[in-house]
């Protein structure tokens, strides 16, 4: 059931003292959605994407994780942060790619998005990104139902 899985993922992040005061909300139009997934890996993918929204933006960023059951299952991670330059969008899923917007405080390796993409593709799904400078970033994970 992906609904409690997402809830636990959010709670675990908010239980980390570094992120305890931040705004992460879960929106879902279903209470129960059974999917054939590796729960550890899907949690890893979603966690990587939420952590990006936290560490690459200011502390007042608002993050919404939305679960939607349409033709496929969609998990979107949306933030109202600084956004990513259009020219960089095609590179953010590359291994070791780090954006020019990364704050000096986050010493990452540039693997988080590449790992998330691998996990989603191994599940037969797809992951896409939309971003507008100054408005924010939305990642859409599509999983087969
Ligand atoms: N929500 C976001 N808002 C702004 N920039 C983002 C966001 N998500 C990703 N990025 C940009 O995409 C780049 C690649 O992200 P990725 O998770 O692969 O690497 P990282 O976060 O820099 O390092 P790591 O995940 O290994 O700690 C980041 O360096 C950052 O510039
Ligand atoms: Mg990252």
Q: Let me know: does 51 contact 13? Beta carbons within 8 Å.
A: yes
Q: What is the pLDDT of residue 101?
A: 80
Q: What is the pLDDT of residue 103?
A: 64
Instruction: Report the residue among 51, 52, 96, 133 best suited for mutation to probe ligand 1: largest number of ligand atoms under 8 A from its CB.
Output: 52
Nearest ligand, CA 107: 1
Low-confidence ranges of the chain (pLDDT < 50): none
Q: What is the pLDDT of residue 52?
A: 97
Q: What is the pLDDT of residue 54?
A: 97
Strands 62-69 and 23-28, by their bridges, are parallel
Alpha carbon 30 to chain centroid, angstroms: 19
Q: What is the pLDDT of residue 108?
A: 86
Q: What is the pLDDT of residue 133?
A: 97
Q: What is the pLDDT of residue 99?
A: 85
Please identify, by atom number, the ligand 1 atom nearest to the C-alpha of residue 53: 1
Tell me how many domains the chain contains: 1
Minimum CA distance residue for ligand 1 atom 19: 110
Q: What is the pLDDT of residue 105?
A: 66
108: domain CATH number? 3.30.565.10
Q: What is the pLDDT of residue 107?
A: 79
Q: Let me know: does 1 contact 32? Beta carbons within 8 Å.
A: yes
The verdict on the CB of residue 112 being under 6 Å from ligand 1 is yes
Range of the domain at 132: 2-143
How far is the CA of 32 from the CAs of 10, 36, 65, 72, 130, in angstroms?
Answer: 17, 13, 16, 15, 28
């Amino acid at each position: 059931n992906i609904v409690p899985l997402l809830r636990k993922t959010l709670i675990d992040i908010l239980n980390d003292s570094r992120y305890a005061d931040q705004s992460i909300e879960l929106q879902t139009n279903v209470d129960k959605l059974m999917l054939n997934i590796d729960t550890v890996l899907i949690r890893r993918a979603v966690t990587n994407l939420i952590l990006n929204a936290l560490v690459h933006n200011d502390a007042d960023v608002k993050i919404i994780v939305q679960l939607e059951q349409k033709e496929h299952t969609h998990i979107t991670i949306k933030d109202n942060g600084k956004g990513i330059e259009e020219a960089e969008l095609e590179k953010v899923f590359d291994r070791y790619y780090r954006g020019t917007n990364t704050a000096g405080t986050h010493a990452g390796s540039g693997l988080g998005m590449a790992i998330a993409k691998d996990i989603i593709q191994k599940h037969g799904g797809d992951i896409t990104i939309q971003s507008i400078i100054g408005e924010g970033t939305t990642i859409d994970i599509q999983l087969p139902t």
